[in-house]
């Protein structure tokens, strides 16, 4: 009831029908007039006072405050015309060789769920936590990184964040605004976008023989270098030990030079052992190591981490110490148990076998459908996609279009370049992670018969 009175008077004031310095009827009089209780009017008047529409003057009553009258106060509200939905409305394809996809069929859901159920019962997951990420999670990450990737770290040097985008944004707070950041070209476009949007200048460094060559950095203004040493994204090469040393030497040459090591899918290597992290060779505190659980667990859990060298760690504490960790405590707790109890390691070992089988099968199908001269394959033996280099007469556009007509989505390598080299020839990233053998077989057959016609 009081709300009606409040709304009525508010509208009268905003429309100008009641204006400064008019006096409102006394609460007693209005109550009698409207046949409501005195306290109802009091409440309405109090709310109007609280919001500044009227003033209560002791012993004199209530007066309208000076307020601009808005003609359109009662206009229809709630609709701002903006395009609908944010996900691009992609046509559903029958064969989607998505290089970013992961296998979601073989995840140990029952284990994850059972840990999740336990953690839903843990009241600690409802209170504010450690700004750098829970210590238990950082401990689990640190021992994984040390054991599997050779990374020099302690839980204290790890910061938990929400995926690569977010971690890069946090890093950006630590670098000077005028910093120039060197990136591999072709390279990881999302990271490039984050750096550009954060106001940095990005220097795109063309790769030499598929990998970054530190000698191209020497004459660049860059003092920070973003690199994917264990599995160049997207070309798939390994940065050799001598180039790693040269890159570190470049960093050691000048103060405040840093290398951002994005170790994006180092977990999956199908030949030999994993390539150790570049950070493991750094004895001068110049490598920032970034990794996520997006490929190894799921991108939907939005959890990643960075290992900061000591000088950046101090700076981070000073500048970002008050920022809360963006990952919910529930998620952190589930992930911690998942790693600590050995399920993560077990899952990785299992997925390495499953991905290797899909990888081998895809290569087998490619080799059986295409004659040697028409195609080359690279980026194999690691990661969740291979690259198909096409040497035939068709153009890139014609291939993509023909593929779409046949229900095949292809990702052109072109899209990963900032500056396309003159010698560029059509090439495609073919992901296999979320495809069944049948889909790989039929998709490749269709590709051979209808698209890259053999």
- Smallest distance, Å, CB 63 to a copy of itself? 13
Which residues, at least 6 apart from 241, have a Cβ–Cβ distance to it below 8 Å?
Answer: none
Q: What are phi and psi of 183, to 5 degrees?
A: -135, 150
User: Which lies closer to a copy of itself via its Cβ, residue 203 or residue 237?
Assistant: 237
User: Which lies closer to a copy of itself via its Cβ, residue 35 or residue 128?
Assistant: 128
Q: In degrees to the nearest 10, what's the CA dihedral of 119, 124, 125, 130?
A: -130
- Smallest distance, Å, CB 255 to a copy of itself? 18
Give, for 63, the enclosing helix (H) or strand (E): strand 61-64
User: Which lies closer to a copy of itself via its Cβ, residue 243 or residue 369?
Assistant: 243
- Pairing verdict, β 304-307 and 287-292: antiparallel
User: Which lies closer to a copy of itself via its Cβ, residue 104 or residue 368?
Assistant: 104
User: Which lies closer to a copy of itself via its Cβ, residue 92 or residue 273?
Assistant: 273
- Smallest distance, Å, CB 406 to a copy of itself? 25
User: Which lies closer to a copy of itself via its Cβ, residue 140 or residue 275?
Assistant: 275
Which residues, at least 6 apart from 246, have a Cβ–Cβ distance to it below 8 Å?
Answer: 213, 214, 215
- Pairing verdict, β 408-409 and 224-227: unpaired
- Smallest distance, Å, CB 302 to a copy of itself? 5
Extract the tokens encoding 390.
């096409």
- Angle, vertex CA 382, rays to CA 376 and CA 388, nearest 5: 20
Cα(first)–Cα(last) distance of the chain, in Å? Answer: 79
E strand spans, 264-318: 287-292, 304-307
User: Which lies closer to a copy of itself via its Cβ, residue 292 or residue 365?
Assistant: 292
- Pairing verdict, β 61-64 and 385-390: unpaired
- Smallest distance, Å, CB 227 to a copy of itself? 15
User: Which lies closer to a copy of itself via its Cβ, residue 390 or residue 416?
Assistant: 416
Q: What are phi and psi of 197, to 5 degrees?
A: -65, -30
| Residue 66: count of CB within 10 angstroms of its CB | 7
Which residues, at least 6 apart from 185, have a Cβ–Cβ distance to it below 8 Å?
Answer: 204, 205, 206, 207, 417, 418, 419
């Amino acid at each position: 009831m009081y709300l009606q009175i409040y709304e009525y008077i508010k509208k009268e004031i905003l429309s100008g029908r009641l204006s400064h310095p008019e006096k409102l009827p006394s609460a007693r009089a209005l109550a009698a007039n409207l046949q409501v209780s005195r306290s109802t009017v009091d409440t309405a008047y109090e709310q109007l006072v609280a919001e500044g529409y009227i003033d209560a003057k002791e012993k004199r009553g209530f007066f309208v405050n000076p307020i601009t009258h808005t003609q359109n106060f009662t206009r229809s509200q709630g609709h701002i015309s903006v395009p609908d939905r944010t996900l691009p409305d992609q046509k559903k394809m029958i064969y989607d060789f998505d290089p970013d996809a992961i296998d979601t069929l073989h995840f140990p859901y029952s284990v994850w769920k059972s840990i999740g159920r336990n953690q839903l019962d843990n009241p600690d997951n409802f209170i504010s936590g450690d700004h750098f990420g829970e210590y238990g999670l950082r401990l689990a990450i640190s021992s994984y990184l040390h054991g599997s990737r050779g990374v020099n770290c302690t839980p204290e040097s790890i910061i938990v964040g929400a995926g690569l985008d977010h971690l890069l944004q946090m890093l950006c707070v630590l670098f000077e605004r005028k910093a120039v950041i060197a990136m591999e070209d072709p390279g990881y476009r999302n990271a490039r976008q984050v750096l550009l949007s954060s106001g940095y200048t990005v220097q795109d460094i063309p790769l030499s023989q598929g990998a970054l060559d530190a000698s191209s950095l020497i004459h660049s203004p860059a003092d920070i270098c973003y690199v994917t040493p264990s599995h160049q994204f997207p070309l798939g090469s390994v940065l050799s030990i001598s180039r790693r040393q040269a890159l570190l030497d470049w960093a050691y040459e000048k103060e405040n030079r840093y290398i951002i090591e994005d170790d994006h899918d180092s977990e999956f290597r199908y030949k030999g052992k994993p390539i150790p992290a570049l950070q493991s060779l750094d004895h001068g505190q110049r490598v920032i190591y970034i990794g996520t659980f997006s490929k190894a667990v799921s991108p939907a859990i939005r959890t990643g981490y960075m290992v900061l060298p000591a000088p950046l760690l101090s700076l981070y504490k000073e500048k970002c110490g008050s920022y809360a960790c963006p990952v919910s405590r529930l998620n952190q707790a589930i992930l911690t148990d998942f790693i600590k109890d050995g399920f993560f390691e077990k899952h990785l070992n299992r997925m390495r076998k499953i991905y290797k089988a899909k990888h081998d099968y895809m290569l087998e199908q490619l080799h059986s459908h295409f004659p040697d001269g028409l195609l080359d394959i690279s980026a194999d033996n690691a990661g969740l996609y291979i690259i198909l280099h096409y040497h035939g007469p068709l153009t890139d556009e014609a291939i993509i279009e023909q593929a779409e007509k046949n229900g095949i989505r292809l990702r052109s390598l072109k899209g990963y370049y900032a500056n396309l080299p003159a010698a560029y020839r059509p090439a495609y990233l073919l992901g296999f992670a979320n495809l069944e053998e049948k889909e790989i077989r039929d998709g490749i057959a269709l590709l051979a018969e209808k698209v890259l016609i053999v």
